Structure 1
Amino acid sequence: MKAQIEKIPSCTIAYMRQTGPYGVENAQLMEKFKGWVKANNLFTDQSILLGIAQDNPAFVTPENCRYDACLIVPDDYRVNIDEIKLGSVRGGRYAVFKINHTVEAVQKAWGEVFLELENQGFRLDETRPILERYTVELVNNHTCEICIPIK
């Protein structure tokens, strides 16, 4: 598993949040969010969806862990529904791992990416979130990317 290094730009996101243990509820939230994206005609070939686990469960109790299902939107985008919030993701250098989009592959990747970063001589930048990135092309090929912020 080799990382590609990429400079990801800062961006504005529209998102829905789920608070609680990471797991099945994250996937359910993403499906609900994708329904909103499609219903609002925001899903195009250029759309980029993100899944952001905001908290490290090693330090935050499961019931307080936050997961955001996100869509990158133009900086001037406005929402008119309380369930959708606007935020931003700070850009920078990321190690990007392309993986199969299956439960097993994602779980395996989470167990390997940090060791691989260390093996490649990179350090995690804990000031920025780890991103799961989904483009139409990736989804159509049953893959996704885990983007780890690096110093």
Structure 2
Amino acid sequence: MHVEIRTLPALRLAYLRHTGPYGAPAIAQTWERLGAWCEAQGLMRPRPRFYGISHDDPGATPAAQCRYDACVPVDAAFAPQGDVGVQAFAGGRHACARFTGPASQMGAAWEWLYGQWLPASGLQADQRPGVEVYEEDFAVDPATGAFSCWICMPVR
């Protein structure tokens, strides 16, 4: 995979949280719930970028306790409601690689970024969480389950 160093913007994000193993089918259900909520709130026109935030290192955190947030940008007037919370995303410098494939292969892509690319890069991982960036034209191939996004590791 090709890696680009990018500066991601600071954002205010509405989110739904999944707690449990990364790669679990429940994450797709969390995204579906967020999409339905966004549609009901009028946030889908124009279609926004979406962000997936992985808060925990699956090598150090028990799988049942890993936290993943499915997120959408919101303005300062947004107030949390029900299961939908709000958080600040600091943005900043990230090493970003284009991922294309089914969700079952995403863990291997993250492992490559942290385990192979990072040690050879001369950079260090930052303490901020990794983020997936889903562009406005995001789609899942119904035949294969494949999709594309950017996986972005915070670096210094």
Flag structure 1 segments of 5+ consecutive residues without an equivalent: none
Q: Which amino acid aligns with 2:58?
A: P
The 5 A counterparts of 1:2-151 are 2-22=2-22, 23-45=24-46, 47-79=48-80, 81-114=81-114, 115-126=116-127, 128-139=128-139, 142-151=147-156
Q: Any idea what SS the aligned residue of 1:137 has?
A: coil
Asked whether the equivalents of residues 47 and 72 of structure 1 are also in contact (C-alpha less than 8 Å), the reply is yes
* 1:140 Cα deviation after fit: 7.5
C-alpha distance in 1, partners of 2:104/2:68? 19
C-alpha distance in 2, partners of 1:135/1:75? 22
C-alpha distance in 2, partners of 1:121/1:45? 39
C-alpha distance in 1, partners of 2:123/2:153? 10
* 1:138 Cα deviation after fit: 4.2
Please provide the CA RMSD for this pair. Answer: 1.9
Q: Which amino acid aligns with 1:55?
A: D
The superposition leaves residues 65-103 of structure 1 with CA deviations (integer Å, 9 ceiling, x where unpaired) of 111111011233234x31111111112100111111422
The superposition leaves residues 28-49 of structure 1 with CA deviations (integer Å, 9 ceiling, x where unpaired) of 1111111111222101345111
Cα 1:101–1:72 change in 2 (3 A) is farther
* 1:134 Cα deviation after fit: 0.5
Cα 1:65–1:105 change in 2 (3 A) is closer
Cα 1:25–1:40 change in 2 (3 A) is same
Q: Percent identity?
A: 30
Asked whether the equivalents of residues 2 and 116 of structure 1 are also in contact (C-alpha less than 8 Å), the reply is no
Q: Which amino acid aligns with 1:82?
A: G
Matched residues, number: 149
Asked whether the equivalents of residues 131 and 146 of structure 1 are also in contact (C-alpha less than 8 Å), the reply is yes
C-alpha distance in 2, partners of 1:100/1:53? 18
Give the structure-1-normalised TM-score.
Answer: 0.88
